[in-house]
Structure 1
Amino acid sequence: MREVNCPYCTSRASKYGKTKAGSQRWRCSCCGNTFTEKIDATAKNLKIFLNWLFGKGVQTDMPGNGRTFRRKVAKFWTLWPLPPKMEKTYDVLYLDGIYLSRKLCVLICSSDEVVLGWYVCRYEHSKAWMALMKRIAAPRVVISDGGSGFTKALRTVWPHTSHQRCLFHVFAQVRRYTTRFPKTLAGQELYSLAKDLFTVKDMDAAYVWIDALLAWRQRHDSFLQEMTVDEMGNKHSTHERLLKAEASLWRLVRNNTVFTYLEFVDITVSPYNNRLEGGVNAQLRAMLRNHRGLPLERRLKAVYWWCYMHSHRQLSVPELLRCMPTDETIASIYKRLNSKYQVDA
């Protein structure tokens, strides 16, 4: 026989008839209180919510044309699943940002297996990167696409961590200046040099590539120095885009961030940011595309839920509901701080 305890004194209870609705009534032999068991379906409802959020289903296909579903999962839309502080040290971490709108970005940090942290900001800048990185133990190598302010944040928070720029983003930056089909010989050769980055597998090949970039400059130096006079009589470089493409490559070489993956022999370092671009950002974009039409705040919370459910340490459902901040608690904190620092007229 199943044992039921009294919710008031925790003593053992016995069956005591049924209610008008047909539910089993229980009576405590110690304190005399009668009660019915309350079934907590929170965990079940959370599973239903996440299956819908991470799937392709639509609400109208659910019982009640989605009305019952919305009622059951309303509490989960009020939560903000936040990342825990990371004390475990990883050899390689990947950092990148995903924009949900023109002025809303989520910065994400991930290892090869799990998501370690996320932070919302208006755009990528050094303080936002610092806020994300301060909660995570410094790795040996970090791989990124070189977002705005990242270098400064890395130098401040993780000063002893090596930085590897994603080679595909390096190539894409050159391609943006030269286009896919350059018209000039210098542009064609520089575009080819950028593609050759993908074939560099050891330090000897890296030095050969650097020498080739230097030879390119010497070969086309007079061509790159050509100037054009505009209608106002001002001089500017005729091939400014090629010069910018070359400068971006030399900047990475000087900063030692383009061939970092070749410097380590005891660990495997990828030259690409595929773990985030393909393993995280692509899935986030697919999720938001499947549920297009969500308000911006819910799109942000959907990203939070995905990151939290793919993190390494998840709380139980009761702990999640008890510990994670809600819209109400955040609004009360903002109201209290706003009144505290308000300046009297």
Structure 2
Amino acid sequence: MKNVRCPNCGFSCRKHGRSNAGSQRWICKQCKCSFTNIITKDEVELQMFLKWLFGKNTQNEMPGQGRSFRRKTARFWELWPLPPKIEVSSTVVFVDGIYLARNACILICCNERYVLGWYICRYEHSRAWCALLQRISSPIVVISDGGTGFQKALKKVWPRTKLQRCIFHAFQQVKRYTTTRPKSLAGSELYGLAKALLTIKTQDQARLWIQNVMSWKIRHKVFLAEITIDEYGTIRPKHERLIKAENSLIKLINKQVLFTYLDEFLGFECPATNNRIEGGINAQLRAMLRNHRGMSIERRIKAVFWWCYMHSPNPLSYKEILKVMPTNKSISDIYNTMIMQSRLDNSIPTWGDAIVWSDLHNYDRSFSNSWD
């Protein structure tokens, strides 16, 4: 049976008899709204556009090499599918950022089933993370790969939410500095400790692992303290990359974000990695962009927005999407209005309370005013 969405809340509907005109009537399972679903030409073309966008077929495989398809669907590139406001709390959410270009990053938040929110920014920073998190109800645990500025935003927006750092990304960060074939004994041992991080299942194993890291630091203290002079005459640590790998683990240990998934008071099984968003969302987005490579940066951003919206908890029907989603023109009008309002606000002190009445009028002390 065709999956019909409610125009009010976006939940699935079921058949509910027929109208006097013989049209199929539907009723929402959530809000009990009854309606007839009249399919228009615009809805059919939007469905065709999304089917192409999420599929593998190229426009060259279409009749006429896709000229009719581009003419019919060009107006859908004007729409901006914006994220809904999530008011139902999730147990665990995953956050990550995917870069589409050098100065174009989309921050994404999801749970085990749906995409909860997304936000476009130039790069990962705390204000962008705050803008993403503010529209989503705070979960119990959030799993992150350590994006720039995320912890600062987390403390501000979700102060009671616990943070779990993806242990696979923690291992990858150490491997980036030591490589898979370290040339020193200290490097081999640290790489082994980072790799053992992926196998920890109990709190006793976690405490033993932390002790081993601290023992490694003491055992190789003299080796790590060696210095060298580079070609410019600057004194530098001789094993600088190894020190960075060590600091990356010590920092996570001190912040107590490595073993949140082992907390007995959570009451549920918490994941330790960010695999849900890496494999379930980012990989799908990259595959979509790869299948339709050659799009401009704006269309790549909108393609990601479309994918995220159609995988959100309760996307609207095609008819409602065409009715309520903003376009390039509407967003441009709002932006221009905000600019004009800002200019007006800046001009008020110049011609308002900053002016002194005596500066515009001559004042003669010999003149007396005897008004009552």
Q: TM-score, normalised by structure 2?
A: 0.81
After the TM superposition, list the runs of 4 or more consecutive aligned residues in structure 1 that deviate by more than 4 angstroms.
2-5
Q: Mapping of 1:79-158 within 5 angstroms?
A: 79-158=79-158
- Are residues 1:57 and 2:54 paired? no
Q: What is the match of residue 290 of structure 2? A: 289
Q: Are positions 1:306 and 2:310 aligned together?
A: no
Q: RMSD of aligned C-alpha atoms?
A: 1.9
Measure how far apart 1:39 and its partner are. Answer: 7.4
Task: Write the deviation string for residues 68-109 of structure 1: whole angstroms up to 9, x where unpaired.
Answer: 111221221111001110000111000000000000000000
CA distance 1:135–1:39, shift in 2 (3 Å): closer
Deviations 1:243-289 (A, max 9, x none): 11111101101111111110045211111101110000000000000
* Runs of 5+ consecutive residues of structure 2 not aligned to the other structure: 1-18, 23-37, 351-372
Specify every segment of 5 or more residues in structure 1 that has no aligned partner in the other structure, as ranges.
6-37
Relative to structure 1, the CA distance from residue 39 to residue 126 in structure 2 (aligned partners, 3 Å threshold; closer, same or farther) is closer
Number of aligned residue pairs = 312
Question: Is residue 287 of structure 2 the alignment partner of residue 266 of structure 1?
Answer: no
In the alignment, the residues of structure 1 paired with residue 222 and residue 340 of structure 2 have an alpha-carbon distance, to the nearest angstrom, of: 64
Q: CA 1:140 to 1:299, structure 2 compared with 1: closer, same or farther past 3 Å?
A: same
Q: Output one character per residue of 1:108-136: Cα deviation in whole Å (capped at 9) or x when no partner.
A: 00000000000000000000000000000
Q: Deviations over 1:165-191 (max 9, x none)?
A: 111110111011111211011001100
CA distance in 1, matches of 2:244, 2:70: 52
How do residues 156-305 of structure 1 correspond to structure 2 at under 5 angstroms? Answer: 156-264=156-264, 266-305=267-306
Give deviations 1:186-228, integer Å, cap 9, x for gaps.
0011001100001100000000101110111121111111111
Provide the residue aligned with 1:315 in structure 2.
316
Q: CA deviation at 1:3?
A: 7.1
Counterpart in the other structure of 1:21: none
CA distance in 1, matches of 2:153, 2:185: 39
Return 239-248 or 277-286, whichever deviates more.
239-248
> Hey, what's the Cα distance between the residues in 1 that align with 2:185 and 2:65?
62
Query: 1:280-325: per-residue Cα shift (whole Å, max 9, x none)?
Result: 0000000000000011100000000000010011112221111111
Give the distance between the partners of 1:3 and 1:215, measured in 2 at CA: 81
The alpha carbon displacement at 1:339 in A equals 2.5
Counterpart CA distance in 1 for 2:183 and 2:234 is 25
User: 2: CA distance between counterparts of 1:334 and 1:63?
Assistant: 40
- The superposition leaves residues 145-174 of structure 1 with CA deviations (integer Å, 9 ceiling, x where unpaired) of 010000100011111111011111101110
In the TM superposition, residue 233 of structure 1 has moved relative to its aligned partner by 4.3
SS, match of residue 120 in structure 2: strand
Secondary structure class of the residue paired with 1:93: strand
Distance, in Å, in 1 between the alignment partners of 2:336 and 2:168 is: 45
| 1:324–1:39 CA distance, 2 compared to 1 (3 A) | closer
SS at match of 1:105: strand
How far apart, in 2, do the equivalents of 1:103 and 1:171 lie?
27
TM-score normalised by L of structure 1: 0.87
Give the Cα separation in 1 of the matches to 2:68 and 2:21.
30
